[in-house]
């Protein structure tokens, strides 16, 4: 399981990128953030700092 970013909610503040201990979050071509599921360890740090609750565990 990995965490996933809802791009319809993401406002591109990039706070999650610096919070991720695995460097799993990068900026996509649309300016929104995206999580690499092969690097994500599901620690939840990104979700806890996102101001618009755009990040949640993938269902």
Q: Return d(Cα 43, Cα 8) in angstroms, integer.
A: 22
Q: Return d(Cα 20, Cα 13) in angstroms, integer.
A: 14
Nearest distance from C-beta of residue 4 to ligand SF4, angstroms: 9
Q: Which two tokens stand for residue 10?
A: 């993401």
Binding site for ligand SF4 (CB under 6 A): 3, 5, 10-16, 19-20, 22, 24-25, 33, 35, 40-46, 50, 52, 54-55
Nearest distance from C-beta of residue 17 to ligand SF4, angstroms: 7
Nearest distance from C-beta of residue 52 to ligand SF4, angstroms: 5
φ, ψ dihedrals at 30, nearest 5°:
-90, 5
């Amino acid at each position: 399981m990995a965490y996933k970013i809802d791009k319809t909610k993401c406002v591109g503040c990039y706070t999650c990128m610096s919070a991720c201990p695995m460097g799993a979050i990068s900026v996509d071509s649309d300016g929104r953030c995206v999580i690499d599921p092969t690097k994500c360890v599901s620690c939840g740090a990104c979700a806890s700092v996102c101001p618009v609750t755009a990040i949640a565990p993938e269902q």
